[in-house]
Amino acid sequence: MDWIKTYSNIIKKNLDKPDRTSKLIKLGLDVAYRYVTLFPDRKLPKSLQYLNKICLKNIKEPLSSPQNSAWVNIFAPTEFLHAMDIYPLFIEAYSSFMSGFLIEDALIDKAESAGISNTLCSFHKAFLGSGELNILKKPKMAITTSMVCDANINTFRYLSEKYDIPLYIIDIPYEYNRDSLEYVKKQLKEMAVLVEEVFDRKLDIDKLREIVIRENQTKALINEYIENLRQRCLNSTMTFELYMLFTSHVFLGREDTLKFYKMLTADIKSAPLRSGGGIFFIHLPPLFEESFKECFNFGKEFHILGCDLNYDFLDEVEYGDPFEGIAKKMILNVYNGSIERKIEALSNIIDRIEPDGIIQFCHWGCKQSIGGAGLLKDYFKRRNIPFLAVDGDVIDKRNNQHGQAKTRLEAFLEIIKRR
Ligand code: SF4
């Protein structure tokens, strides 16, 4: 859209003025929030209109109040932050918004010119570029994990040193057993003490339990939503699958997240029956890739049935001892550990949803995603489920081979149609 291009050009012209740039970014998020509040997209079900609003609110809050915020990655145990009324700035989401604002290229170029490898994942490069440009305001601290993403520790360590803020890295073992559980639990206790010291406030254990109880109520609704996906589907776009990563991860346990899933389950129960081919994504959908947008956004012939990252831990979390419950949740996340665990979890979710085809968009620089693609291909072949693995970049639009992606997608969808 022209106005986004104009806005993007204004930001790019001001990149050497960090204060002005960060104000422009906040202004863009404010305007977007007001716009979706006043003029919700009527093509969307009510739940997704609401999701649009809360995601903008959740990204605005830490940017507007950096001194009450902490940088986190998608797997960080943010229940502790919610219990202490601290805003998490979810770095993968921040980079996605910067790509939505069409400035990811400038941020990534800045990171690369500062010596960051061009093979690093662009979710990280865009965030690092913002740090290099000092567009990001100093938060109080940062929390990350060793699990799943090999880029996290380096990004967080580098930026925490640059911004001179405390960092807590939670080391998550591959295997689940009593020792590993105690090991993670001990780290969570240490992390909670550090958060208390840094923010000068006390963790109320009952408030943490309330957050976990709400998280469990939310999980029950997510499971109910999944059961309905076998027959029905929402009129949606790939963006909303990515937005659901806010509610299925970093903002779990919050009131607005629970409200969203209540609305979502009500919407899916009254949604039209699946009439076209249902497509399930592994890891992430390529929300900026034109051929995918044409086929799946508000698609009539093909519907988006979800992406597995939103369903990486669907069990209840023990709330009596929330430290133990959250530790268990982290170790047993299906993306943690061996690829066999991930395949088993995928198999369960696919049996529940029964998609007609599965797509893995292998995001540039993401080793955990690309590394498992061959094994997943073999697995789906054995199960006779059409599977497409296509390379590209979810964030940096310059890294996509549009022609090749389009040809491969069309051939894949033709197979599904013939079935
Ligand atoms: S896409 Fe892969 S490398 Fe990038 S942040 Fe996610 S897990 Fe990490």
What is the best residue among 369, 394, 395, 396 to mutate for testing ligand 1's pocket, by most ligand atoms within 8 Å of CB?
A: 369
Question: Higher-confidence residue: 2 or 407?
Answer: 407
Cα angle 123-125-130, degrees, rounded to a multiple of 5: 100
What is the best residue among 74, 368, 391 to mutate for testing ligand 1's pocket, by most ligand atoms within 8 Å of CB?
A: 368
Beta strands in 374-413 (DSSP E): 387-392
Q: For residue range 238-248, list pLDDT tens digits in order.
A: 999 999 999 99
Is the sign of the CA dihedral 46, 41, 244, 296 positive or negative?
positive
For the segment 107-115, the average pLDDT, to the nearest whole number, is: 97
For the segment 346-372, the average pLDDT, to the nearest whole number, is: 93
In three-state secondary structure terms, 404 is helix
Q: Is the CB of 144 under 6 A from ligand 1?
A: no
Is pLDDT at 57 greater than 90 in this prediction? yes
Q: Is the CB of 121 under 6 A from ligand 1?
A: yes
DSSP alpha helix (H) spans, 230-287 = 238-245, 255-269
Q: Is the CB of 151 under 6 A from ligand 1?
A: yes
- 0.85 exceeded by pTM: yes
> Phi and psi at residue 366, in whole multiples of 5°?
-95, 100
Nearest-angstrom CA–CA distance, 206 and 228 = 34
Lookup: tokens for 214: 């709400």
Nearest-angstrom CA–CA distance, 114 and 158 = 12
Amino acid identity of residue 101, one-letter, is: F
Interval between CA 269 and ligand 1 midpoint (Å): 33
Question: Higher-confidence residue: 110 or 300?
Answer: 110
Q: Is the CB of 328 under 6 A from ligand 1?
A: no
For the segment 403-410, the average pLDDT, to the nearest whole number, is: 94
Angstrom CA distances, 199 to 70, 190, 206, 365, stand at 10, 14, 19, 34
Nearest-angstrom CA–CA distance, 143 and 156 = 8
Strand partners, 170: 145
Cα angle 39-40-42, degrees, rounded to a multiple of 5: 115
Amino acid identity of residue 343, one-letter, is: I
In three-state secondary structure terms, 278 is strand
In three-state secondary structure terms, 304 is strand
Query: pLDDT over 90 for what percent of the chain?
Result: 95
Residue found under tokens 């109320």: 204
